[in-house]
Amino acid sequence: MLIYVLLLTVILIALLNGYNFFKKFYTDRKHVEGIHGPPEKFFFGHMYILMADKDEMFTRARKFAKLYYPIYRFSTLYVNIINFLEPDDIELILSSTKHLTKSKIYMFLHNWLGTGLLTSTGAKWHKRRKILTPAFHFSILQQFLNIFNNETVKLVEKLDDECGKIIDVVPPVTNFTLQSIAETAMGLSTIDDSTRKKYKEAIYEIGRIFLSRLEKPWYRINAIYNMSKLAKRESSVIKVLHDFSNNIIAEREKEITSISDHLSTYSKKKRLAMLDLLLSAKHDGADIDHEGIREEVDTFMFEGHDTTSMGISFLLLVLANLQDVQANVLDEILSVLGPNKVPTYDDLQELKYTERCIKETLRLFPSVPLISRYAGEEFVTKTGYTIPKDTVMHVHIFDVHRNEKIYPDPLKFDPDRFLPEIANARHPFAYIPFSAGPRNCIGQRFALMELKTVLCGVLRKFKLEKVDDMNDVEFRPDLVLRPMRDVKVKILPRGLENS
């Protein structure tokens, strides 16, 4: 009898929760119905769009951005998604401490990344951000520069083997960024080729799994998803990724002969890189354990190599397409460094034109094209719409950066858009390749320094020549901005390109 009472109680609670959920959903739906968007189907709303071919997902989003600017809506049986394209509205979201929680799509990454800095919220996010911020202090970045310079030498040697050939620059660049983040943030001196290959393949596969889950609404229910073949595939991929991170942590711990002595004395003398900082925090009794450290290692190994590798790859593509820009960047590098000097931190700060070229590349090719949050409270947009609490909000960085109202002739590559007097006159949330506000990218200075260092090594050694047009690049939906096909560039020895 007791079992039946308990079962009935569970059913009643589930029904009550379901009733409250759908009551709120349809109440909220009335608030947002005035926001236009694509045509809706009876009962199912915009479900047909969210379930359509995922290979078309990226181009569909660009089409909707043009048709429904500055804001548009998707509604399904159970969720309202508001898409933001206007900097004034985006500022309300990203600058506020009320809208810090990432939306449910990030929960699909929890099996892999747990609730690290990218996916956590509330008190846990604040604690992790506080622990990790010192790892990206400029004094730490100065220490990292030696590693960037050494890894650039190795990249140049790899590219030297391909001189005179047309190559896809993504694989060698990804090897460079993966080793760089492993050594700078984790203290791992080398990754063997087999391990690196398995890790990169697993990263690509987890992106595909993420999108497959996103396009099937029933996979948003964990009980259904966990019984699927896709979930089994995800488990095997995540094992590869977690093994990689656990091995990094174990190897670092091994290198520190006595963690207790090392972290209590060494940490007081100098600033620590990321993994040592986490180990130190754990040793000092902070609210982080081994699993928490692995969450952050997973997060930073992914974010610290994948976004940067695509940024460098697109930058090389741009310079191969625009010979005058490439020549100007090289002239500046030679004027600051000469033909052979290894760049210092201060040298990199002098590369003003080069930095503007990097920023313009990240405008056209932002490594993260979209971010998503929950509305932490009800608010009214600058465009005049009421957004209810808990609404899913997508910020389309890619479309903001290519908005002709903000950037005239938006497909034209123009580094002068980032001259101080021009950039300062622009809306502060019209350029957000590293997000903005309290949850901005903690590693943005790290990334800019890495990109500058690579250019100093590559351009003094090689001339890059165009193979494919930069404006013809097609993108596929993924966790980062990823091209549908190879990023092809022809590499010639500098000075011998006309021989």
SS (H, E, C) the chain: CHHHHHHHHHHHHHHHHHHHHHHHHHHHHHHHCCCCCCCCECCCECHHHHCCCHHHHHHHHHHHHHHHCCEEEEECCCCEEEEECCHHHHHHHHCCCCCCCECHHHHHHHHHHCCCCCCCCHHHHHHHHHHHHHHHCHHHHHHHHHHHHHHHHHHHHHHHCCCCCEEECHHHHHHHHHHHHHHHHHCCCCCCHHHHHHHHHHHHHHHHHHHHHHCCHHHHCHHHHCCCHHHHHHHHHHHHHHHHHHHHHHHHHHHCCCHHHHHHHHHHHCCCCHHHHHHHHHHCCCCCCHHHHHHHHHHHHHHHHHHHHHHHHHHHHHHHHCHHHHHHHHHHHHHHHCCCCCCCHHHHHCCHHHHHHHHHHHHHCCCCCEEEEECCCCEECCCCCEECCCCEEEEEHHHHHCCCCCCCCCCCCCHHHHCHHHHHHCCCCCCCECECHHHCCCCHHHHHHHHHHHHHHHHHHEEEEECCCHHHCCEECCCCCEECCCCEEEEEECCCCCC
- Report the C-alpha gap between 408 and 401 in whole angstroms: 11
- Report the C-alpha gap between 185 and 102 in whole angstroms: 25
Strand partners, 435: 433
Query: Does residue 447 contact residue 308 with C-beta atoms inside 8 Å?
Result: yes
Residues constituting the chain: 499
Query: Does residue 109 contact residue 410 with C-beta atoms inside 8 Å?
Result: no
- Report the C-alpha gap between 281 and 135 in whole angstroms: 12
The structure tokens listed for 457 are 């090594």
- Report the C-alpha gap between 447 and 50 in whole angstroms: 33
- Report the C-alpha gap between 200 and 305 in whole angstroms: 10
Q: Any binding-site annotation on 441? A: yes
Binding-site residues for heme sit at 441
Binding-site residues sit at 441
